[in-house]
Every structure is written in C-alpha cells, then in structure tokens.
Amino acid sequence: MTTPQFARARSAEAKQARETSILEAAARLAGEHGVRTVTLTDIAAAVGMHKSAMLRYFETREEIFLRLAASEWVQWSQDVRNRLGALEGGNPADPGTPMAVAGILADSLVARPLFCDLLAHTPLNLERGVSFAAVRSFKLIAIAAVGEVGTALRRILDLTEEQGGNVVSTAVSMAGALWQMAAPGTELRRFYQDSPELAHALVDVAPKLTDILTALIRGYVAR
C-alpha cells in the first residue's frame, strides 16, 4: 500500500493545521509506544506524508517532540497551579502542608505520562537534535513555567524564589528519571512483575516522588 501524498500547505492556516496533525500523531504514537521508539517515518506514515515532506514543517524528529514538550510544560503549569490553589490560605507551618504540596506535584506529573516520558528525553537528545533557535524557544517556555509554579509554591510555603525553583526542578527531573525506571506499559515492566527476585526494581512513581519532594520541602521550611 502506498502512502497518500498530501498537497503542500500553501496558506499560513493550512501550514498550522498540518503542523498540528503532525504533533497530534507524534503524541499519540509516543503514548502508545514510548518516545524512544517513535521514528520520523512512523509519524509521517501516521499523517499520510512522505518523510521528506515532513521536513517542510519540522527540522527533525527531535523538534517535533521538543514542541510537544513545550506544550506539556504550559499545560502542566496551569494544571498544577490550579491544584495548588486549593491549599492557599493554609498554615505553611503545618507538618502536613509540605506533604500535601509534594503529593500535588507528584500526582499532577504522573497524570501526564507523555510529559514524564519527554522530561527524560529532552536534555538527553531532543535539545541536541535541533537548532539553537528551537532550543531557545523551548527553554523560554520551560523557564516561564518553572517560575509560575515556583511562585504558586511560595504563596503556600515559606520558600525563597531560588528554593521554589529548586523544588519545581527537582520534581520534574525526578519524575522523568523515575518514569524511565518504572517503564510503565512495557515488556520490561511486566518482566519485573513476573520475577519475584527483581521486585526491588519495580518503581511506583507517585509515592516515591512524593516522599522525595516532602523531604526536600520540609528541609527548606525548617531553615
């Protein structure tokens, strides 16, 4: 079966629609198979384009996923700030408050599997496979999101600006690492589950991340 050939998008609106369809296909494939395994050819086939035609819209496979990562940062920032809003006005000295904040951060990340997967791949290969202009655009979005969530944390906890940023950075970096270790939905995960002697290799991301962030936040608050 031959791949259907799309006519080249001529207008700005058509180009935007084509880019959106490419991003949606990449996100769907990554959700089904993991970011690591999805190729440019896979994405092209999913939208009915030849791989060479994709280069009119994105420099590389890495740029597609970096664009998705930027979108995930924006959406996660909004989601977690909405969740944190329910805690505003509470007592930051309450021992339960750091745990509640940590739980919200962890749960909001685990609720976004694609984001967790992308968080690990972004510094390892996505930022290295695009132009500096693409990196700059992504970094500005991510930095803004970190600042927004950090500000929301400071409305609840007695943290400095640097500490708030460190909590957010720790949350997302650990989420990316733990997600890869957990390997959800993969044959590797099922192998761990079926091997009693490898039970220690099973990672449950949300509670482990909550525990790590609780310890970090309590340490900052105690200062």
Interval 152-186: pLDDT, tens:
999 999 899 999 999 999 999 999 999 999 888 78
How confident is the model at residue 88, as a pLDDT?
A: 78
Are residues 110 and 179 both part of a single domain? yes
Are residues 31 and 92 both part of a single domain? no
State yes or no: pLDDT of 2 exceeds 50: no
Mean pLDDT value of segment 10-15 = 78
Are residues 46 and 152 both part of a single domain? no
Are residues 104 and 36 both part of a single domain? no
Judge contact between 216 and 157, C-beta under 8 A: no
State yes or no: pLDDT of 9 exceeds 80: no
Task: Look up the domain containing 11 and give its range.
Answer: 1-58
pLDDT band at 95 (very low <50, low <70, confident <90, very high): low
Mean pLDDT value of segment 67-75 = 98
- Lowest-pLDDT choice from 22-36, 87-101, 114-128: 87-101
Are residues 54 and 64 both part of a single domain? no
Are residues 137 and 102 both part of a single domain? yes
Are residues 105 and 42 both part of a single domain? no
Are residues 67 and 41 both part of a single domain? no
Mean pLDDT computed over every residue of the chain: 91
Last residue of a domain, one of 58, 83, 106: 58
Are residues 66 and 50 both part of a single domain? no
Are residues 179 and 203 both part of a single domain? yes
How confident is the model at residue 93, as a pLDDT?
A: 60
How confident is the model at residue 8, as a pLDDT?
A: 58
Are residues 119 and 205 both part of a single domain? yes
CA-angle at 62, arms to 170 and 56, nearest 5°: 145
Using CB atoms within 10 A of its CB, is residue 129 exposed (0-12), middle (13-18) or buried (19+)? middle
State yes or no: pLDDT of 84 exceeds 90: yes
Q: For 106-127, how does the pLDDT look when each residue is reduced to its tens digit (9 = 90+)? A: 999 999 999 999 999 999 999 9
In total, how many domains does the chain have? 2
How confident is the model at residue 4, as a pLDDT?
A: 45
